[in-house]
Structure 1
C-alpha cells in the first residue's frame, strides 16, 4: 500500500502543556514557586494543598524538569537589558591602594 500524496491539513501547534490533567496556571505557579523561592517539591505540594489543589510532589518534580527551560525562555524577553546609563548610590573605588 502506497502512502497518499495528499497534503496534510494544517493543524495549529500544540501547547507544551497539552495532555496534562492540571490546568496550565497551576503548573506555571508550582514551577514558579519552586524556582523563585528555593522550595522543596514537598513544600510546593503543601502550598498547592492549601489552595485546594491536590498534586503529588512527584508531579511537581516532573513539571519542574519539563517546563523550567520553557519558562526561562519565555521570561528572557521580559528582562531588562542594560543600557548606556547606570545609576549608582555611594560607590567606593580603590585608587592607588586607598578607598575613596
Structure 2
C-alpha cells in the first residue's frame, strides 16, 4: 500500500447505509425523464456533451452552484449570462 493510500485509509470512514443509492437515483430521475425522448444520439461524444449540459442545468436549478440561490430564476439567469455571455 502506498503512502497516499495509507493516508486515505486512515482518514476515510466506512458507512454502512442500506439505502445510500436512493438519493442518487432520485436525483437522476429528472435527468432520465428529460433524456428518454432523445435516446437516439448519433455518437458517444454528442451524448456526453448533451448529458453534461443537462446535469449542469440541474445543478444550477437545485442551487448547488456557489452564488446561485435555489429557486431564484433571476439568480440563475444572471449566472448563465455571466458564463455564456447570453441572456437566458
Please indicate, yes or no, whether the TM-score normalized by the shorter chain is above 0.5: no
Q: Tell me which of the two structures has the higher relative contact order, counting C-alpha pairs closer than 8 angstroms and 6 or more residues apart.
A: 1
Q: Please report the TM-score for the alignment, with normalisation by the length of structure 2.
A: 0.31
Structure with bigger helix share is 2
Q: Please report the TM-score for the alignment, with normalisation by the length of structure 1.
A: 0.28
Structure with max Cα Rg: 1
